[in-house]
A and B are shown apart, each in its own frame.
Chain A
Amino acid sequence: MDWGILFNEWYMFPQVLMSLVTPSTFLGIIIGCTIGFIFGVIPGLTALMAMTLILSLAFFLPPDVCFGAMLGIYTAAIASGGFTSIMVNIPGTPAAAVTTIDGHQMARKGMTREAVGAVIVSSILGEVLSISIFLITLPFFIYVVLSFGDWEVFLFCCMGLIAAGALAGKDPLKGWTTALMGVILGLIGTDPVFGFPRYTFGISELAKGIDLITALIGLFGLSEVLMVLKEKKPYQLVSRVSFPKLDFRIPIKYPRTFLTSTLVGLWIGFIPAVGEGVSPWLAYDFSRRLSKNRDKFGSGWIEGVIAPEVANNATLGGALIPTLLLGVPGSATTAIILAAMYLYNIPIGPLLPQIRPGTITTIIILALISCVIGLIILYVLSPMTMYILSLPREIILPLLIPFFILAVWGSTYTVFDIWIMLLFGILGFALRLANFPIPPIVLGFVLSRPLEMTLRRAIVQYSTNLSALFLRPVGLIIIIILLLMIIGVRRFTKRGQQ
């Protein structure tokens, strides 16, 4: 093995950093953070929705600007979702649902500035720590994935589907069903090996398959708009915030909560397609158990705000590991980043560090820069939270639909794909109504081709002795580890939700 490959990304760090210090990259991140802040604050608008919109512009933006904007959106939206949880008692994003428990109580006690400040500091520092851990452990993960063959990648994809199905929703059966549906939808089109058309039902436009952007905009964009318009809930404003009180000593004051939540975020992020919706619940539960002040949790205690906010942003570091090194998205948001990488023809998978050295470092540096810029944007814009919340959703949401249509049109230039987007929107809405989780269907859709290709290649490779596939040591380890993870996480998720 060429050991230099393992450390290539480290060596390239200064070089990549210098190449990213450009006005366009910074502008992309600033715009991304601002959009993310607005989408995070307004309940119903999510980071996913905003990232999907940016994804449609990938054709028209340089990669660094596009990835910078996406990571900016992620950082700001996930953090600012907590503002709404504190001030209105409605989570701005699903990832901020746990923050309502203690955050809103703090606001009622007149500690809004402290709570919002804790959200900003915890989110940003949690993300910085998780990204730094990813950077430090990168050579180890590159070493591990380089020992992966087609069979191991297939197993990882399979176990990812199983884990996502089991953890993304309350009912594993629903998760697995949607994941499988995603896999089958992803198989529509021309067979990649023999060029044979599959499941086109006589419609020639389906021969090219269903476009990923089209499916994502329908499932995450349009269906969310329909879901929010489903009912009109008036906000009950409790408090307003001037500039928040930032306390950067949070990691020193509450080291146990901070570290535990970061590790939980990393761990959950690593499990495919589970993401920031689950990690805050687990982090809250763990932190409460480990805290000396466990009785204060739930009554407006600051650790109850720190734990979920650290975990939801720290999920990014863990989610980037399978996304960049295996092409298996760790969360729904990283699935969007993965889709953008496909659009830029970046060869995702175990060979990425060899074929395109510096790509992983680019994403890591952009995430770190977006944390710094996100901190400033969140601080500066936080007094505007009330104003943004006062904008009626009945005006904002219809305005988004022409942009979704334009985004699909801009990526494929066919009306057929816009109809497909509408169908996916209806499908997403119907699934949400019946409490089916959406991330597994996206994961299934993204993984359908890698699943098929890796299995077909592995079978051809071992066609003389298929049983040898099951004796490959790394494959066996993956099966055991992921099975243990599923059992463990399922148990803790249940407990956390209770």
Chain B
Amino acid sequence: MIVEIIISITMLIFGLTFLKASFLEFYLPQPGIVGYISSPHFYSLIFSVILIILCVILTIKSILRTVKRSNKISIDAFTAKRVTIILISTALYIYCFDKVSFFITTLLYLSVLILYLNPQLKYKALLYAILGSFIAAIVFPEFFKIMVPVR
């Protein structure tokens, strides 16, 4: 699967980034082997190296598997569009919720999302969104004494 290869390569890059950071930030509290072993980066260095080795094997295996299965993609356009819209709206919601009113942003976010996922609901979507926002922004923080940034 293409996704598998992408994930394997991403993890490989992740491992390489951490390996590089281990060398750049290397700090030896004591001289000699004991200092080397007890340094804050020794273990992360070892784990990064093992991760890189595993990722290389995984990437090769994924490529071989994909070739065998003739490039089968596990995510369709419908899913990709749906997930992208949800993620973008969630990112916008996170960006706005501490700047604008938490209740209003939650209401807007839920209305848009419920309507997008269930277009036939129309007015009902707003009702669900009001109910959800009321619980999330008023009841929940009040009951558990969570301080909401801007109510």
Which residues on A are within 8 Å of B, measured CB to CB? 57, 60-61, 173-174, 176-177, 180-181, 183-184, 187, 191, 193-194, 196-199, 201, 226, 229-231, 392, 394-395, 398-399, 401-403, 405-406, 409-410, 413, 415, 418-419, 422, 426, 429-431, 433-436, 451-452, 455-456, 459-460, 463
State whether B83 touches A230 (Cβ < 8 A). yes
Q: Nearest-CB distance from A35 to chain B (Å)?
A: 14
Which residues on B are within 8 Å of A, measured CB to CB? 1, 3-4, 6-8, 10-11, 14-15, 18, 21, 25, 27, 29, 34, 37-38, 40-41, 43-44, 47-48, 50-51, 54-55, 57-58, 61, 74-75, 79, 82-83, 86-87, 90-91, 93-94, 97-98, 106, 109-110, 113-114, 117-118, 121, 128, 132-133, 136-137, 140-141, 144-149
Chain A residues with Cβ under 8 A from B7's Cβ? 430-431, 433-434, 436
Q: Nearest-CB distance from A331 to chain B (Å)?
A: 23
Give complex CA distance A231, B81 in Å. 12
Q: Nearest-CB distance from B35 to chain A (Å)?
A: 11
Chain A residue with Cβ nearest B57? A173
Chain B residues with Cβ under 8 A from A456's Cβ? 37-38, 43
State whether A177 touches B43 (Cβ < 8 A). no
The answer to whether residues A398 and B97 also contact, given A187-B44, A194-B27 and a CB cut-off of 8 A, is no
Give complex CA distance A426, B86 in Å. 11
Chain B residues with Cβ under 8 A from A402's Cβ? 93, 106, 109-110, 132-133, 136-137
What are 24 inter-chain pairs, A to B, with CB distance below 8 A?
A: A60-B144, A173-B54, A173-B61, A177-B55, A181-B11, A184-B15, A184-B48, A184-B51, A187-B44, A196-B25, A196-B40, A198-B21, A198-B25, A229-B83, A230-B83, A392-B118, A398-B114, A398-B132, A426-B87, A430-B10, A434-B1, A434-B8, A435-B4, A455-B43
Q: Nearest-CB distance from A228 to chain B (Å)?
A: 11
State whether B140 touches A198 (Cβ < 8 A). no
The answer to whether residues A434 and B4 also contact, given A229-B117, A402-B110 and a CB cut-off of 8 A, is yes
Chain A residues with Cβ under 8 A from B94's Cβ? 405, 415, 418-419, 422
Give complex CA distance A405, B27 in Å. 37
The prevalent SS among residues of A at the interface is helix
State whether A193 touches B40 (Cβ < 8 A). yes
Chain B residues with Cβ under 8 A from A422's Cβ? 87, 90-91, 94
Chain A residues with Cβ under 8 A from B110's Cβ? 398-399, 402
The prevalent SS among residues of B at the interface is helix
Chain B residues with Cβ under 8 A from A435's Cβ? 4
Chain A residue with Cβ nearest B19? A184
State whether A459 touches B44 (Cβ < 8 A). no
A-B residue pairs, 5 tightest by C-beta: A191-B40, A394-B117, A410-B146, A398-B113, A402-B136
Give complex CA distance A32, B29 in Å. 48
Q: Nearest-CB distance from B25 to chain A (Å)?
A: 6
Chain A residues with Cβ under 8 A from B50's Cβ? 180
State whether A433 touches B75 (Cβ < 8 A). yes
Q: Which of A183, A184, A196, A436 has the most CB of B within 10 A?
A: A184
The answer to whether residues A198 and B128 also contact, given A392-B118, A394-B117 and a CB cut-off of 8 A, is no
Give complex CA distance A183, B82 in Å. 32
Chain B residues with Cβ under 8 A from A60's Cβ? 144-146
Give complex CA distance A429, B4 in Å. 12
Give complex CA distance A410, B147 in Å. 7
State whether A406 touches B90 (Cβ < 8 A). no
State whether B3 touches A405 (Cβ < 8 A). no
Contact partner, A229, options B21, B40, B86, B145, Cβ 8 Å: B86
Chain B residue with Cβ nearest A455? B43
Q: Nearest-CB distance from A166 to chain B (Å)?
A: 13
Give complex CA distance A402, B50 in Å. 38
Chain B residues with Cβ under 8 A from A180's Cβ? 47, 50-51, 54
Give complex CA distance A405, B121 in Å. 25
State whether A177 touches B40 (Cβ < 8 A). no
Chain A residue with Cβ nearest B34? A463
The answer to whether residues A406 and B4 also contact, given A176-B54, A194-B40, A198-B25 and a CB cut-off of 8 A, is no
Give complex CA distance A231, B79 in Å. 7
Chain A residue with Cβ nearest B51? A180
State whether A394 touches B146 (Cβ < 8 A). no
Chain B residue with Cβ nearest A429? B83
